[in-house]
Amino acid sequence: MARKTGGLAALMSGQPVVVKKRRTVFWRLKLLTRQGGLHVGLILVCVLYVYGGAMLFMWIEAPEELALLANFTRNLTAIRQNFLENVENLKIAHQNGPKKNGSHLEASLNRLLDNFSHDLMKMFPHPVAANMFENMFFGRGENSSYQPLWNTDSSLLFTATTIVPVGYGYIAPLTTHGRLILCIYAGFGIPLALVMMSDVGKFLADLSAKLFNENITAFMVVLVSLLVAYSILGGIAMAKAIGVSMIDGIYFSTITIFTIGYGDVSPSISVYYIIAFIVFGVSLVTIAVDVVAANIIHNIHYMGRQVGKARIIADKMLMASSIDFQKIIRSGDFCEVQGWKIGILWGSGAF
């Protein structure tokens, strides 16, 4: 008769009784927090670091931008007023002076226009002046409202692409102390972002590897396929959203997730979508590089170890084959020689 393994019979026979504890919801939440607390904490730290940096740089750079805007507005007004006065003086001189042909008046006007254009072009390379001219020419003239470079959205994109780092270069600090603070900010932010992406990437890679039953080859194929699909599908979505060609959309998507970021394409979509696209794309690249590179390095080391073992075996086999066995056999020590030879080969791992 089979012995019972639980209940009263187990107690009477001295068997240990395993009592299964009921897992409460609080216990499960505590376990989940313990396992994912570090990952969530790193993400929250990065989010706060990006937001705090955006507010800091906007607080530093926005007043400087407004001061430069006022200065450029005064200079533009002075240049235009000077041009109009010169044109009026030329008109009066032409009317009151000796009669000259029209070509002389046209040459004088062209010279004034060239000087006026030259003065404007000297202002244009500055980003604040360029933004002012863009608002004037593509807006509604002088009455169009100026769109500041340093606002909440642009500052968030600036700090996010600084620590990832993509670095589109749409805006940059204008002040000396702003640039010094940026060096310190990037010095701490870039390692923080790399640690966060590496940690989250490793967590997701380990979780995904379990779904493939530790089949690393299949996992690598899926990762590379996802990376290519993310770049292509993301580029097509970008192209539809910002109204550019599909090639330009894929180009922008690819240089973004690989943290190249030339900044030659400026998508007119919400900055939060761009930041989310960057974070997920760069994390996917990090996971793919981590898994593929680790597997390749492991295979290279394994091959190197096997080659080293094969070299040792070959050296010992050559040592064994170089002995003059015929001479020793004739001397009657055949058994001893065979035992010596087998011992060498056995120690080398040939058997």
Counting residues of the chain whose pLDDT is more than 90, the rounded percentage is 17
Torsion from C-alpha of 288, 292, 295, 300, nearest 10 degrees: -150
8-state DSSP, 142? G
What is the per-residue pLDDT for 1?
A: 46
Q: Which residues are CB-neighbours of 327 under 8 A, at least 6 positions away? A: none
Confidence of residue 165 (pLDDT cuts 50, 70, 90): confident
Q: Under the phi-then-psi rule, with left for phi > 0, alpha for psi from -120 to 50, and beta for the rest, what region is 146?
A: beta
Please name the residue that has the structure tokens 């400026």: 266
For residue 40, the tally of other CB atoms under 10 A from its CB is 12
> What is the pTM assigned to this prediction?
0.70
In order of 32, 193, 207, 217, the CA distances from 212 in angstroms are 22, 28, 9, 9
How far apart, in Å, are the Cα atoms of 305 and each of 34, 230, 312? 39, 37, 11
pLDDT at 41 over 80: yes
149 closest CA partner among 268, 54, 65: 65
Structure tokens at 92: 């009066």
> What pLDDT is attached to residue 224?
86
Residues 351, 342: Cα–Cα separation, whole Å: 9
- Asked if residue 161 lies in contact with residue 53, where contact means CB atoms within 8 angstroms, the answer is no
pLDDT tens for residues 304-343?
Answer: 666 666 666 666 666 655 555 555 555 555 455 555 555 5
Helix (H) or strand (E) holding 244: none
- Closest by CA position to 53, among listed 125, 132, 152: 152
What pLDDT does residue 27 have?
61
Question: Mean pLDDT across the stretch 84-89?
Answer: 85
37, HSE (Cβ side, Cα atoms, 13 Å): 7
pLDDT at residue 245 greater than cutoff 60: yes
Q: What is the pLDDT of residue 335?
A: 52
Rg from Cα positions in the chain = 37
> In angstroms, rounded to a whole number, what is the distance separating the alpha carbons of residues 277 and 168?
14
